[in-house]
């Protein structure tokens, strides 16, 4: 009875509840699909020159998030004219480095490009059940907002 | 040419390690080998070289990596004769050729170690993008170092990089692919 009275007073509440329920249902039951399994980071041409000129250039975040089976490949590209330490490795001009991950875990790499000297690749498990998809999507929103 | 490109594409799809594309020539080096003779990378042209950097006092990463490489070598059976593990020290101060020989023999008698002057070893590390930093001042100092392992093709190309944590089966898989 209380709910009926509340609906009369605030007719938008059932609409909001239905919308929230639909969103949760969509997040839980719609498969997670990416066009590519590769998460790509690129050092553009002229980066070294900009750094030498005193500009701060951040390309690779200190934390990279991947997901097994969906987006589980880290692809680094050096398009600059000079060799660069990029992520865990030294890359020549024009070279790319493609690193696949098969196991969900947190991977630490030494990376001189970061002040901490470390780069972390967090690989989440495959969201293959409604509950996992819901958690995966919530976590993704949280990481984007944070 | 087309066949070669197709083979490269198939390889990059299937290797467990990270792949460099295009693969560059692996920087050659000349250091003192653990058998007392000069050790050069080019000497092993024709074999797949598994190149690791570490030090004999390493408490965790190096023993694990070397044990995994020894297991992979055993897994390869007869094919194992076509791979060579080279372990270059990041601690030349304490790692003499003899110490390296004794240390590596505990894992696999075919493994070869390399040492040299601090300047020599720093130059090799720089060429490969390997970091090593002394931690602590006491006699029993540690060295924080890159933990990945390079895979170098029979032609001397730096093809792949295996991050720490991969199992022996992953090495066996990738070395087999590179050998074939």
Q: What is the pLDDT of residues B94-140, one digit of tens each?
A: 999 999 999 999 999 999 999 999 999 999 999 998 989 999 888 88
* A76, A83, A90, best to mutate vs chain B, most B CBs in 10 Å: A90
Q: Would B21 be classed as within a structural domain?
A: no
Residue A79: pLDDT over 60: yes
CA max distance for chain A: 73
Residue B12: pLDDT over 70: no
| Residue B35 confidence (pLDDT) | 93
* 3-state SS class at B149: strand
**Closest CA–CA distance from residue B4 to any residue of chain A (Å):** 18
Q: Would B12 be classed as within a structural domain?
A: no
ipTM, 2 decimals? 0.81
Angle at the Cα of B37 from the Cα atoms of B33 and B41, rounded to 5 degrees: 55
- Residue B79 CA: distances (Å) to CA of A14, A112, B8, B15, B111: 69, 37, 21, 18, 15
Helix and strand numbers, DSSP H then E, in chain A:
4, 8
Cβ–Cβ < 8 Å for A66, A101: yes
Q: Would B77 be classed as within a structural domain?
A: yes
| Residue A115 confidence (pLDDT) | 62
Hey, what are B145's tokens?
A: 């170092």
Average pLDDT (B16-40) is 96
Cβ–Cβ < 8 Å for B96, B60: no
Q: Would B15 be classed as within a structural domain?
A: no
Number of domains into which chain B is organized: 1
In DSSP notation, A81-128 reads SS-EEETTEEE-TT-EEEEE--S-EEEEEE-TTSTTSEEEEEEEPP--
Q: Would B111 be classed as within a structural domain?
A: yes
Question: Would an 8 Å CB–CB cutoff place A93 in contact with chain B?
Answer: no
Q: Which domain holds residue A128?
A: 31-145
**Closest CA–CA distance from residue A53 to any residue of chain B (Å):** 24
| Contact residues, chain B, for A105 at CB < 8 Å | 165
Our measurement of the distance from residue B116's CA atom to the centroid of its chain's CA atoms, rounded to an integer in Å, reads 16
| Contact residues, chain A, for B19 at CB < 8 Å | 97-99
Contacts of B163 (CB under 8 A, 6+ apart): A88, A99, A107, A109, B17, B18, B147, B148
Average pLDDT (A9-20) is 88
* CA trace torsion B93, B54, B146, A49 (10° rounding): 50
Predicted TM-score of the model (pTM): 0.82
Any idea what the CATH number is for the domain that residue B86 is in?
3.40.30.10
In 3D space, the residue among A79, A73, A6, A87 whose CA is nearest the CA of residue A44 turns out to be A79
From CA A63, how far away is CA A40, in angstroms rounded?
Answer: 14
Residue A4: pLDDT over 60: no
| Residue A90 confidence (pLDDT) | 87
Residue A35: pLDDT over 90: no
Q: Would B8 be classed as within a structural domain?
A: no
* 3-state SS class at B78: helix
Report pLDDT digits (tens) over A48-76.
888 888 887 777 788 899 999 999 999 99
Report pLDDT digits (tens) over B78-98.
999 999 999 999 999 999 999
Comparing CB atoms, the residue among A85, A95, A102 nearest residue B20 is A95
**Better-predicted residue by pLDDT, B134 or A116:** B134
Number of neighbours of residue B69 by Cβ within 10 angstroms: 23
Residue B6: pLDDT over 60: no
Report pLDDT digits (tens) over B135-179.
988 888 999 898 899 999 999 999 999 988 899 999 999 999 999
Q: Would B11 be classed as within a structural domain?
A: no
Comparing CB atoms, the residue among A74, A92, A110 nearest residue B24 is A92
């Amino acid at each position: 009875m209380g709910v009926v009275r509340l609906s009369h007073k605030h007719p938008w509440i059932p609409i909001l509840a239905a919308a929230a329920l639909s969103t949760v249902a969509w997040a839980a039951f719609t498969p997670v699909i990416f066009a590519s399994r590769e998460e790509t980071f690129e050092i553009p041409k002229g980066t070294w020159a900009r750094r030498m000129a005193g500009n701060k250039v951040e390309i690779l975040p200190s934390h990279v998030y991947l997901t097994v089976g969906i987006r589980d490949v880290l692809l680094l590209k050096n398009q600059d004219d000079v060799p660069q330490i990029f992520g865990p490795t030294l890359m020549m001009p024009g070279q790319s480095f493609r690193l696949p991950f098969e196991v969900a875990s947190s991977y630490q790499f030494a990376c001189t490009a970061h002040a901490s000297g470390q780069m972390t690749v967090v690989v989440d498990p495959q969201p293959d059940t409604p509950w996992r998809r819901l958690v995966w999507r919530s976590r993704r929103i949280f990481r984007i907002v944070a | 040419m087309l066949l070669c490109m197709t083979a490269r594409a198939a390889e990059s799809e299937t290797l467990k390690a990270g792949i460099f594309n295009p693969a560059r020539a692996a920087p050659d080096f000349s250091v003192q080998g653990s058998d007392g003779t000069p050790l050069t990378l080019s000497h092993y042209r024709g074999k797949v070289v598994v190149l690791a950097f570490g030090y004999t006092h390493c408490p965790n990463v190096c023993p694990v990596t070397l044990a995994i490489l020894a297991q992979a070598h055993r897994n390869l059976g007869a094919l194992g004769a076509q791979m060579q593990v080279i372990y270059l020290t990041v601690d030349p101060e304490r790692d003499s050729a003899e110490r390296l020989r004794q240390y590596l023999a505990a894992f696999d008698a075919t493994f070869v170690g390399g040492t040299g002057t601090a300047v020599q070893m720093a130059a090799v590390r720089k060429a490969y993008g390997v970091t090593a930093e002394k931690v602590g001042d006491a006699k029993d100092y540690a060295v924080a170092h890159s933990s990945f392992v390079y895979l170098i093709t029979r032609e001397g190309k730096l093809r792949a990089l295996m991050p720490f944590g991969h199992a022996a089966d992953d090495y066996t898989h990738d070395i087999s692919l590179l050998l074939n």
